[in-house]
Structure 1
Amino acid sequence: MAKRPGQRWRQATVWLHVVTSVGWMSQALALLVLLTLSSTAVDPAVRVAGTTMAQHLDSSLLAPLANASAFTGFLLAAATPWGFLRYWWVAIKFVLTVVQVNLGIFLLSAGLNSSVDAARDGASGPAGPMIAGTALMVGALAFQAWLSVAKPWARTPWTAGKAKLPTAPPWVFTMATGAVAADLAVAVLLGHPLPAFSAVALVVASTTRARTIREASLRPAYG
């Protein structure tokens, strides 16, 4: 049986979420290896090389993949019946993703910059905290992958008495896939990892869902 175009685009968004999530975790593992190498190396040149490569990997690949993974996950929650807080496994993934993205931006990236400067000055830098934080990121991403596969636990208390959420129209998933692909291209080509297109797509998807729910709630009164 042939798949409808809307179903294909929704599956493309899911595929993109899976690919970028795996990429995020694999780059976090690579970051962990480089930071460990820099921390344990005796040769100062190796320490500088390890931290410099870790910093480049974080800004050029890990950050764009993390953004793409986060925003495809957010959009799937905003555009499908899963929602953000209707199921425990989705709610936990949502909270963990928000925490990881913010810690990556405000702590990990800043720590990498300090580590590079410290290594060039002959010091060790914040190697211990950086390694521990990166290891925690890897563990959290692996846990989120398990949540996606197992989908454990029941619905949250916030779903009591609420109707099933509608699925967004096909053009929302088409827009989301294009937006994430555009952000990844900009990040790779121009070194600009800010997810501008994805943010716009998420706002549009959330607004579309809110309007659909509002119209559905008003329909019986006028029907």
Structure 2
Amino acid sequence: MGHRRSWRQLTVWLHVLSSAGWMAQAMALCVMLTTGLVTDDPAVRTAATTMSLATDGRLLGPMADVSAFTGIMLAAATPWGFFRHWWVLVKFAVTIVQLYAGIFLLSPQLQASAATGPVPVQVVATALMASAIAFQAWLSIAKPWGPVGRRRRGGTGPAWVFVAAVLGGALDLGLGLVLGHPMPLLSIVLIVVVLARRRTWSAPAAGSRTAAGEPG
């Protein structure tokens, strides 16, 4: 039990760390893109977009993937679940929207404008991204609203789930930093495995003290 709790706490730590990194890099992108947008120097404008593109690929993207991965693992492997509490459900929905916007909208725009400089929509997008992550942090602390109906309380996954979450997230993060773009290979495989196995974990007995961890 103590071994599982330690690895669960490490998973929460990695989730918080990567989420803070995701927000910090979004704020950094916002500052760089704003600088490139308001400057009259073409060299500064191009440099701002080029550095934003590198930051997005090597830091923001990998951090976002690890944050989403650890959050999904914590929700799947703890009694919090995905659909038992409104605040968890909202965090999950916001995360999916952010990942989609970052992968399919923001990153291609940064690549397209690398030689010409940033455009206003990129500044707005990065500011909204940072604000959304800050909102998710508030949800994690405040845990507002009530439960989503009456759903059966799930169990806590075995220790290997949290070990896999920490090691898989760290390896995918390192791989993204080396390659210069996100590569969530282990994350995707582990999520599929955990979702397939989670129904086999029994719920804790009534009155038992089970630390659930913090979902993403």
- The two structures have a TM-score, normalised by structure 1, of 0.88
Secondary structure of 1:85's counterpart equals: coil
Give the letter for the 2:26 counterpart: A
Deviations 1:166-220 (A, max 9, x none): 000111100111100110111112334121101111111111212336xxxxxxx
CA contact (8 A) 2:54 2:180 kept: no
Distance 1:192 1:52, change over 3 A: closer
> Which one of the candidate residues 10, 22, 25 is aligned to 1:24?
22
Q: How does 1:51-200 map to 2 (within 5 A)?
A: 51-119=49-117, 125=118, 127-157=119-149, 160=150, 162-200=151-189
Higher relative contact order (CA 8 A, sep 6+): 2
**4+ residue runs over 6 A deviation:** none
Stretches of structure 2 lacking an aligned partner (at least 5 in a row)? 203-216
Report the count of equivalent residues: 203
Match in the other structure for 1:34? 32
CA contact (8 A) 2:4 2:159 kept: yes
- The two structures have a TM-score, normalised by structure 2, of 0.90
Match in the other structure for 1:4? 2
Stretches of structure 1 lacking an aligned partner (at least 5 in a row)? 120-124, 214-223
> Which one of the candidate residues 12, 15, 39 is aligned to 1:14?
12
Cα distance in 1, alignment partners of residues 88 and 11 from structure 2: 16
- CA RMSD in angstroms comes to 1.4
Return the index of the structure with the highest Cα Rg.
Answer: 1
